[in-house]
Structure 1
Amino acid sequence: MTHPLRIGIWALVHGNRAALRDPLEPYDASWRRNRNLILEAESLGYDCVLVAQHTMNPHQTDLGQLEAWTASAALAAETRRIEIIAAIKPMLYHPVVLAKMATQIEEISNGRFAINLVNAWNRKEIEDAGMVFREHDERYAYGTEWLSIVERLMRGETVNHEGRYFTVKDYVLSPTGLQRPRPPIYVGGESPPARDLVAALADVWFINGQPLENVQALIADVRARPRKGPPVRFGLSTFVIARETEAEAQEEYHRLLALAKEDADIKAYVRANTDPAVQMRKTQARYESVGTNGGTSGGTVGSYDQVAERIAQFHAAGIDTLLTQFQPFEPEMRRFAQHVMPRLAPIRAEQPRAA
């Protein structure tokens, strides 16, 4: 099936996405800014927002950091149409507690909530809280067991589970299923264990920004894996720089790239606290880009027509949820809505059809 393209944004949970020292975007990760940003995104026609989860700012511990789940609950009450996707690191919440939180926000939002499971890369965030930071493949084993419990609880099933990490006895949550069977499940991560988890339990696989041919290969790999239920759908992160001409876009790209290089100390701090086995870091190291989670590696820098064409190519490859980043965020988000979204109208409005 080919589905209409949905376009979303990243919430500014830890401020700027490309460079922290940008005179055009002073650092601000406050609730007030994020609330206003997401309400405006909704009014501009964006379809979803990803609220990444960090309890400790991953760039610098004295910088502000938005908390994902309390913010998502508030956003659920403040918004009317946009989908709210809250990221979750399984090590931080017992599955019973998280499933209850998810079903509550699902009710508050009137069926506009989703969870995004990420198995964590920031060792410091976990270990400094006195918890065990499991090694890469074990984190996915833990996350798979954790998510299997959450998924059943969100459906309203009575769960009895005896596993390697969790024991749950005769547990059932109420209310559930008021708008639909359960909230959708997005999963991030690109390693082989991550892909197994996606094939087993995800509704949407969230892929980090990278060249089109890489994305096509990743999609083909997951589509070929054994799967029960509806086919996996695919999302992609990308940092967008769009201008009237390609030369203008490249000029802005190089401005941000120069500013990003001034963050060398911050990037060194992040690398020191990152599990070297994380696939995202290996992928990002192969490309010069700005932005997080692949940034501009997907090629969304250019004229309005060029950016729209590249996004259409990703959609043709199977991407039906595009999560965008910008800097400075608000004016660039408006620019994209004004100049690029209209060029994407044919693939945003189309109905599902057989591939």
Structure 2
Amino acid sequence: MLARSASMRDRIAMYNPNVLKIGIFGANCSSGRSATKVPERWSASWPDCRRLARMADEAGIDFMLPIGRWKGYGGATDFHGSTLETITWAVGLLCATERMTVFGSVHAPLFHPLIAAKEFVTADHVGAGRFGVNLVVGWNEGEFEMFGVTQREHDARYAFAQEWLDVVKRSWSERGEFDFEGQFLQLKGIRAFPKPYGDTRPILMNAGSSQVGQEFALR
């Protein structure tokens, strides 16, 4: 997974010898990880996110990982009622930091793989190799309905995500034009430049907990 060069490992926290990595999760969402009404709850405003990222970078935190959330939960706390989109959020934080990795969290069914691949590469160049991808298959029916997208059956979500990721990876590595013919995706004449920073791909992660989800994450 940590497919970066020796020079990158010297300057990027995620590639240091420490096996245990420490990060901050969910700072792009209002209230963070606490469903609360207290006035001082996390706002997820851009100035606060940038300030937090700079503090974390200086303190030696290894990464920041956002939540892919499109619709808040409402109610008395309006948990995650305000959220910042994760790829543009990551690009901004990469510009504000020097050593830690910043992830984007992307719902595969909501993004065309070639658009996502181009966004990932752009972020990776902005961060000089410090961008990471958290690939999400999705579970929140309310969010999918908002986009007019029908969620697939559980195992099929991961089958689609595998095809989606195969397209992304090939667009990162293939030097010539290629076609892709899969069960879910049929794409013609794919050509994508530039390649990821340093010609090595960003860190990929997935938090699947089911058997099929864990098998997907291991691949």
SS in 2 for 1:126: helix
1:5: how far off? 2.3
The answer to whether 1:184 aligns with 2:203 is: yes
Match of 2:192 in 1: 173
Indicate if the aligned counterparts of 1:154 and 1:183 stay in contact, CA closer than 8 A.
no
Aligned CA distance change for structure 1 residues 69 and 18 (closer, same or farther; 3 Å): closer
Matched ranges for 1:302-313 at <5 A: none
1:46: how far off? 0.3
SS in 2 for 1:124: helix
Match of 1:66 in 2: 84
SS in 1 for 2:124: helix
The answer to whether 1:136 aligns with 2:151 is: no
Aligned residue among 81, 98, 120 for 1:80: 98
For residues 9 and 27 of structure 1, the distance between their equivalents in structure 2, rounded to whole angstroms, comes to 13
Structure 2: which 5+ residue stretches go unaligned?
Answer: 1-16
Aligned CA distance change for structure 1 residues 40 and 149 (closer, same or farther; 3 Å): same
Indicate if the aligned counterparts of 1:102 and 1:154 stay in contact, CA closer than 8 A.
no
Matched ranges for 1:339-350 at <5 A: none
Q: Percent identity?
A: 28
SS in 2 for 1:56: coil
Amino acid at match of 2:211: P
Match of 2:171 in 1: 153
Match of 2:3 in 1: none
Amino acid at match of 1:69: I
Aligned length: 199
Indicate if the aligned counterparts of 1:149 and 1:159 stay in contact, CA closer than 8 A.
no
Indicate if the aligned counterparts of 1:86 and 1:116 stay in contact, CA closer than 8 A.
yes
Deviations 1:52-106 (A, max 9, x none): 2122224548821111111112112222111011111101100000000000100
Deviations 1:264-283 (A, max 9, x none): xxxxxxxxxxxxxxxxxxxx
The answer to whether 1:199 aligns with 2:218 is: yes
The answer to whether 1:52 aligns with 2:67 is: yes
For residues 178 and 211 of structure 2, the distance between their equivalents in structure 1, rounded to whole angstroms, comes to 28
Match of 2:116 in 1: 98
What is the RMSD computed on CA atoms of the aligned residues?
Answer: 2.1
Indicate if the aligned counterparts of 1:50 and 1:84 stay in contact, CA closer than 8 A.
yes
1:27: how far off? 4.3
SS in 2 for 1:6: coil
The answer to whether 1:37 aligns with 2:37 is: no
For residues 41 and 62 of structure 1, the distance between their equivalents in structure 2, rounded to whole angstroms, comes to 22
Indicate if the aligned counterparts of 2:26 and 2:32 stay in contact, CA closer than 8 A.
no
Aligned residue among 20, 28, 37 for 1:13: 28
1:22: how far off? 5.1
Aligned CA distance change for structure 1 residues 11 and 36 (closer, same or farther; 3 Å): farther
Normalised by the length of structure 1, the TM-score is 0.52
SS in 2 for 1:98: helix
Residues 173-182 or 79-88, more deviating: 173-182
Aligned CA distance change for structure 1 residues 79 and 62 (closer, same or farther; 3 Å): closer
For residues 58 and 121 of structure 1, the distance between their equivalents in structure 2, rounded to whole angstroms, comes to 14
SS in 1 for 2:193: coil
Deviations 1:101-150 (A, max 9, x none): 00010000000011011111111001122111212111111111111111
For residues 152 and 133 of structure 1, the distance between their equivalents in structure 2, rounded to whole angstroms, comes to 25
Which one has the largest radius of gyration? 1
Higher relative contact order (CA 8 A, sep 6+): 1
Indicate if the aligned counterparts of 1:10 and 1:51 stay in contact, CA closer than 8 A.
yes
Match of 1:347 in 2: none
Amino acid at match of 1:116: N
Residues 129-138 or 89-98, more deviating: 129-138
